[in-house]
Structure 1
């Protein structure tokens, strides 16, 4: 039986383990934390449950397919709740509108704010539909194993069609004029840890996922999805070693021979999948001399994505909040300039998830507010005292009529330093490398080591990118490649 080791039990690692185990592989997953799911981390504070992340779920078919391809019904493991009117957007002046999967609902709201947007919204939907379908067919399923994979004529033609040279903000200005509407749609760049004023318009396809396919939530908390994947993996024979950090991947003659955990145990392996932040985990596991194509100097030259400052707070009662709401800064472009210059924004945009609005059972005694603001990646400059920044956020929310301090029962703060330590995230970045340049958007690190034949990478810091669906796709892509590779070897052996 072929032995596979997966380092990290994030969604990519779990997806890969399920696929491989269903095809008869012996799979061991090693996870440093005491739970499976990676950044999809459950947090309980008394009777208040929080999903650390992600809070907005899209592309449910990607997650369902993990279960269906293993021959089981995903509804036996978790249930989706679709949120039709999903995100309330509030500007600094109090103006607001609600995002909805109903096009007429959107047009009706736009007619009050922006007649230009009302007139052009259907054209916008058609264009983001096109961007999404091109990306889905040309980029998502591919394994980019070497530079030669980028020379495919069909791939080159597809790349030219997804607006790679246009910036996201410029793209959205084609369809919207009102500042708040522009901010709301430009916010999609933060889903990949980037700036809408620098990242390609290609990522505007996220608008198709939210405004056409829809926004979803997993009943019982989004972390129920990770628990369902963990349960299925175990049922298929995957051994998941929690609280078992891997110390070293031992390499000989360009092949990984075994892994060693921090307690000194070793395991011989055929293949290794590293499901973690490529910039942080790979160099911590493999000596620099064994990875000449990915030296430390190269890692240090890459621009990390944004990080996050999170407050999870349980309230004694319920406020007039929907599942998702965003309170925008007055100058959105200035905010991103500050973030990517290592400065904590003076006027941060504040996102609040209140999952108890859709699922009261996760927080029976009052709202469970997951409050997130974008933060710069860690540096030696411009560090912000967490307590002071928390108070700044509470001050802003009070101006919008949310008396958090008065109603607070429980509270937990997680900043970039804790993100770095808990998730092995390079400089505390949430999405690995930013997509602020053409190269980093379309030439992300390969899913396989260029120097070690049997070491693979899955997760948000490699192809096809950040976000839970993309992470799962990366795990599936890697697993399918390994299965195909072994099938070809076995057929040659059988033939000979």
Structure 2
């Protein structure tokens, strides 16, 4: 039986482990932190229940696909709750916009915010829908083991059709004049850890998921999904070791033979790296150096258990300062904490009231910051806490927030690294800017035979796409092993 080592216990690693075990592999999953889930997890503080993860869940059928490929049915206890409003966006002029997959509701929202852009919005949706179909057919449904796998005529035409040389910001401004609407659409670039001024317009197809297919939340919190996926892989015989960081890759004559992790040697026929390649010197320098030189963003997070409610909030809420685009320049060009951040406030109690006691709120407040940028420690975090609370109380309808806090956890990049295992707290992997969008690591490593990759740094865009990248890597690993076995058999028989 072939032995596989999966490094990383997030959605990509769990999905790959489930698929490989169903294909007959003996699988061991090694996770550096003390629990599975990566950045997709829940946190409990007293009677308050929070979720990390700052975007709604899309494409839940991709998660169902993980269970199918493992040879079973979707966990009946796992429920994806549709959100009638994917996200609510507030602007400093006092207006707001609800993004919804309900076309009538979305039409009313646009009529209220920017009636002159309503017709162009339909044209925009048609275009991003076409882009999504091209990506789905040629990239989501077809595992790419190497860049050469994408060089067919059909794949090239699909790639060319998704505006790879136009920035997301320029693409959005082709359709819309209202800067508020442009700011909302540009925000999807942040979902792949990138700037809308530098990421190709291809990323805009993510808006199609929210505005046409719709978004959802995991009922009971993110931990419910991770616990279900853990139960799935354990039922398939996968061995899971937590608190087991990888210390190095074992390679002989260009072929992987295992890993060093947790002070032990783990032998394997193949290794799937489902965590950020920047987390260790396990790849050739020409690959890791390029990745590590790419800007990455992390987050400053406040989990607040608050003894009051805020009726203006929905489940996912974003608050835009004037000149919202300045944030991306500060994050990616100047690599400093933004002075005009878009503020995210997650309020899961809108969808599940039992996330907090009656009359109270569990709020996840987040702004993006450069990865690894809280080296000055707790004093720095305390300063930014006060600054962010001042912004919320003075301009965004959170009067009395500070004095109502009962439970609190503050997380900067360093704390997020400790909690999730992401190096420097970089939750999204390297920015997908320019050519790097299409030169991310392929599923099959070019330099080391038997080494494979999965995760947001291969397929960015949320937990469902991360899970798909795990499935793709598992397919390619298994196919390579079968082809190698056929070749060896042919040599034996002399055919």
TM range (shorter): over 0.9
Most deviating of 196-205 and 115-124 = 115-124
Q: Distance in 1 between matches of 2:66 and 2:484?
A: 25
Distance 1:191 1:77, change over 3 A: same
The yes-or-no answer on 1:483 pairing with 2:478 is: yes
Q: Distance in 2 between matches of 1:309 and 1:449?
A: 33
Q: Distance in 2 between matches of 1:246 and 1:486?
A: 24
Aligned residue in 1 for 2:350: 357
Q: For residues 1-400 of structure 1, what are the structure 2 equivalents within 5 Å? A: 1-262=1-262, 264-281=263-280, 283=281, 286=282, 291=284, 293-294=286-287, 297-300=289-292, 302-320=293-311, 321-340=313-332, 341-365=334-358, 366-378=360-372, 385-399=380-394, 400=396
**Partner secondary structure for residue 74 of structure 1:** coil
- Normalising by structure 1, we get a TM-score of 0.92
Q: Distance in 2 between matches of 1:168 and 1:411?
A: 36
Q: Distance in 2 between matches of 1:8 and 1:221?
A: 21
| Paired residues, number | 485
Most deviating of 198-207 and 440-449 = 440-449
Q: Distance in 1 between matches of 2:220 and 2:451?
A: 36
Q: Distance in 1 between matches of 2:438 and 2:224?
A: 32
Aligned residue in 2 for 1:451: 447
Q: Distance in 2 between matches of 1:292 and 1:113?
A: 50
Most deviating of 209-218 and 311-320 = 311-320
Q: Distance in 1 between matches of 2:291 and 2:210?
A: 33
Aligned residue in 1 for 2:409: 412
Q: Distance in 1 between matches of 2:365 and 2:381?
A: 14
Q: What's the CA shift for 1:292?
A: 5.2
Q: Distance in 1 between matches of 2:375 and 2:81?
A: 43
Residues 304, 429 of structure 1: 8 Å contact kept: no
Aligned residue in 1 for 2:428: 431
Most deviating of 303-312 and 175-184 = 175-184
Residues 167, 198 of structure 2: 8 Å contact kept: yes
Instruction: Render the CA deviation track for 1:74-103: whole Å, top value 9, x for unaligned.
Output: 142411100012311101222112111111
Residues 321, 342 of structure 2: 8 Å contact kept: yes
Residues 168, 198 of structure 1: 8 Å contact kept: yes
Residues 38, 421 of structure 2: 8 Å contact kept: no
Residues 54, 468 of structure 1: 8 Å contact kept: no
Q: Distance in 2 between matches of 1:364 and 1:426?
A: 35
**Partner secondary structure for residue 434 of structure 1:** coil
Q: What's the CA shift for 1:492?
A: 4.7
Q: What's the CA shift for 1:184?
A: 1.2
Residues 107, 121 of structure 1: 8 Å contact kept: no
- Normalising by structure 2, we get a TM-score of 0.93
Q: Which runs of 5+ in 1 are unaligned?
A: none
Instruction: Render the CA deviation track for 1:264-303: whole Å, top value 9, x for unaligned.
Output: 322221111111111223x1xx3x7xx25435x4444x31
Instruction: Render the CA deviation track for 1:243-267: whole Å, top value 9, x for unaligned.
Output: 22222222111122232222x3222
